[in-house]
Chains A and B, each alone.
Chain A
Amino acid sequence: NAGVTQTPKFRILKIGQSMTLQCTQDMNHNYMYWYRQDPGMGLKLIYYSVGAGITDKGEVPNGYNVSRSTTEDFPLRLELAAPSQTSVYFCASSKLRGAGNTDTQYFGPGTRLTVL
């Protein structure tokens, strides 16, 4: 049981480049989330998904896109990288417990992205 895995661990992009951050979970969790953590700050929600085919915006969605074609995978796409997107990105997942309640969110190891 690997939990939540993320690739790559580190990446340096040039301004205007695009890339996809991969996230996979093997816990059969319905909910998946993408957060970013800027230096010295807490995490802010970018996008989340309540199940395959369903995604919605979080607090800071601009400049990002997501898709959820399977329960396991929730990739995050940066189309035109900007220096403001330099951050550590965390993917998380949680299980639906019923009655609209979810279990604890478990986090992946993070992807450190630098845009120069």
Chain B
Amino acid sequence: AQKVTQAQTEISVVEKEDVTLDCVYETRDTTYYLFWYKQPPSGELVFLIRRNSFDEQNEISGRYSWNFQKSTSSFNFTITASQVVDSAVYFCALRSIIQGAQKLVFGQGTRLTINP
């Protein structure tokens, strides 16, 4: 079964702090993709990153970085020097191949609040 767990329901930090959002996944697929999406208060879903199971290299994009570790089935997301605009719900997702189709399985999301 495909499953994504985001154990942190809510996180609140003060601006400029670093914060890490955890994501643990379960899959029997040998090839799979992991994603992070951001959902700001306006409600839309914004794609942040995609990572395939063969690439364990960490990714950095500005203040965002991602740590993918197959050994622990984790794909954690770190925001460095957080800003108020980072306040949003963040979803981790796993793309499984079920019956030949491509489906995203989402975690329940982590609500991140950055306080000024």
B-contacting residues of A (Cβ < 8 Å)? 31, 33, 40-45, 48, 50, 56, 58, 88, 90, 92, 94, 100-102, 104-110, 112
Contact = CB atoms under 8 A, between A and B. Distances in A.
B107 to A, nearest CB: 5
A33 to B, nearest CB: 8
A56 B101 contact: yes
Q: 5 closest pairs, A vs B, by CB? A: A42-B106, A107-B45, A102-B102, A43-B106, A42-B108
25 contacts: A31-B101, A33-B103, A40-B108, A41-B108, A42-B91, A42-B108, A42-B109, A43-B91, A44-B106, A45-B103, A48-B101, A56-B99, A56-B101, A90-B45, A94-B102, A100-B97, A100-B100, A104-B35, A105-B47, A106-B47, A107-B47, A109-B43, A109-B44, A110-B43, A110-B45
Contacts of B91: 42-43
B113 to A, nearest CB: 14
| A contact patch SS | strand
Interface string B78-113: 000000000000010100010111111011110000
Contacts of B44: 107-110
Contacts of B93: 42
Given A100-B97, A104-B35, A48 B50 contact: no
A106 B101 CA distance: 16
A110 B37 CA distance: 14
A111 B97 CA distance: 27
Given A88-B43, A104-B35, 20 more contacts: A31-B101, A42-B4, A42-B93, A42-B106, A42-B109, A43-B104, A44-B106, A48-B101, A50-B101, A56-B101, A92-B45, A100-B97, A100-B100, A104-B50, A105-B47, A106-B47, A108-B44, A110-B43, A110-B45, A112-B43
